[in-house]
Amino acid sequence: MTVELKRIRAHGVELNVAVGGEGPAVVLLHGFPHTWRIWEPVLPELTRDRTVIAPDLRGLGDSARPASGYTAADVAADVVALLDALDIGQADVVGIDLGTPPAFLTGLTHPERVRRLVVMEALLGGLPGAGEFLRNGPPWWFGFHAVPDLAENVLTGHEEEYLDFFLRAGTLGDGVTPAFRAAVHAAYTGRDALRAAFAHYRSFPESARQIERAAADTGLEVPTLAIGSHPVGNATYRQVRPIAEDVSGIVLENCGHIVPQHRPRELLAALRPFLA
């Protein structure tokens, strides 16, 4: 498997994009604290018969870090513009964590551009269905990341310790490969890197409003698969089900939040038949 890293300007932002393989297109959207490399364990299989497009989200990894524009709708617009830049009319779209709300909005607002949609391990704004997951409140880091300047001030100089917490928790203590760990550390070290990462969290309230407005305006026409693991479980599926015409859900057992790194075989077993 080989992918080529390209610098592609989309929706006013220069994105770092891994592109490889041949065949129908699939866009892979990562989350925090990830880069496009979260997908590396599944790329050899996917690129056998698919054109894989895996960008670093705006502000993250090696993509540009604009001062603003971090809502789910902004990132969804990046996806559409990226397809335009690559002259691709329609693609499957797969999102995990921070990548799930923009993936969902892309399918909801641009169904003509999305053949099939996969959403993983994230909440979709305030849509009903996530009550059980939120019974003890949202994860603590949502609030920590949301306060302007706070997390940057606290974490600068201690990025590795903080990032390693998420890498361990996201694999149920198993940890990730040294190569992925090093990539994550490089991507999220420094005040500006942290600022851009937390800008996504600081946009959550507006992203939630965007999702709720779009869901109220139209149903989800695109065939959708919701994949859960630990800790989100079936919450994403429960949120999608009331508004989707065609949705199925699966929860991967003994799998942490960083699904492609922790359980790539199980993820491929779910993805391949759905995207076929």
Chain segment 176-203, per-residue pLDDT in tens: 999 999 999 999 999 999 999 999 999 9
Backbone phi and psi for residue 274, each to the nearest 5 degrees, phi listed first: -70, -40
pLDDT (average), residues 233-251:
97
80: pLDDT strictly greater than 80: yes
1: pLDDT strictly greater than 90: no
109: pLDDT strictly greater than 90: yes
pLDDT of residue 163: 98
pLDDT one-digit tens code per residue, 58-77: 999 999 999 999 999 999 99
pLDDT of residue 2: 80
Q: What are the sequence ranges of the domains in the chain?
A: 4-275
Question: Is the CATH number 3.40.50.1820 carried by domain 4-275?
Answer: yes
pLDDT (average), residues 29-50:
97
Angstrom distance (rounded) from CA 238 to CA 127: 9
Which of these, 276, 265, 229, 225, lies nearest to 249 by C-alpha position?
225
pTM above 0.75, yes or no: yes
pLDDT of residue 28: 98
Could you give the count of Cα atoms lying within 13 Å of 88 in the half-sphere of its Cβ? 25
pLDDT (average), residues 14-19:
98
Where do runs of H (alpha helix) occur along the chain? 43-46, 72-85, 100-109, 140-146, 150-155, 159-169, 178-187, 191-202, 204-217, 235-240, 259-262, 264-275
Amino acid at 209: R
Find the largest Cα–Cα distance for the chain.
48
Amino acid at 118: V
DSSP 8-state assignment for residue 60: S
Residues pairing with 133 in the sheet: none
pLDDT one-digit tens code per residue, 111-131: 999 999 999 999 999 999 999
